[in-house]
Amino acid sequence: MNQISELGYVHRFVEGDRSGDGLTLLLLHGTGGDESDLIPVGQALAPGAALLSPRGRVLENGMPRFFRRLAEGVFDQQDLTLQTENLVQFIDSAVQLYKLRPDRIVAVGYSNGANIASSVVLTRPRVLAAAVLFRPMVPFVPSTSPNLEQTDLLIAAGRRDTIAGLQETQRLVQIFEKAGAAVTTFWHNGGHELGQDDLEAAASWVLKWRMRP
């Protein structure tokens, strides 16, 4: 598993099982994480899948993020737009370099990583086939709903999350469902941190997604 930066992001790529179904998990860490953080999560959620894990290029007090924020829960919308497009370009380039199936890329994002994954879904609906969003917030409210009728999403939220709370989760679900996405919601009894139940629910969801016709 090499750390490579030729695609514009420092990232790790783990080749998938060549006899498998061509699934690639795009792993997007939270604030302060890096390209190694979610590798074990990806391996647990989808054994045999390829793993593509970039490091966020924006620094906040030395901590990597995928886009800037102005305060807790207040996002820099101009930077979000720019960084979303940068991530889309990274995905497109990685598809070519690593010979990935573009119709089998599923994002797995946590917190800040889940937020930029949501932004990709809302702005470039065909880039991701599906997404697992751990503790996401609303990145922005689209002026016009995209067509997400072919997009499957799992939102894993914490009932006691003080960062991405109940109302925030419900707003995001409404935005996605209004756009036609198939949304499954899982509620963890704790806060913003991930629990084993989150991982088990996500693994079950990914397995069902992989097995569908």
The DSSP bridge partners found for residue 97 are: none
Q: Choose, from 11, 29, 188, 192, the residue flagged as catalytic.
A: 192
Are the beta carbons of 69 and 43 closer than 8 angstroms? no
11 catalytically annotated = no
Q: Choose, from 111, 118, 119, 188, the residue flagged as catalytic.
A: 111
Tokens of 65: 């993020």
Tokens of 36: 């190694």
Q: Choose, from 37, 152, 161, 198, the residue flagged as catalytic.
A: 161
111 catalytically annotated = yes
CA–CA gap between residue 53 and residue 33 (Å, rounded): 11
Alpha-helical regions (H) of 124-195: 166-178
The DSSP bridge partners found for residue 54 are: 11
29 catalytically annotated = no
Residue 86 three-state SS: helix
- Catalytic (active-site) positions: 111, 161, 192
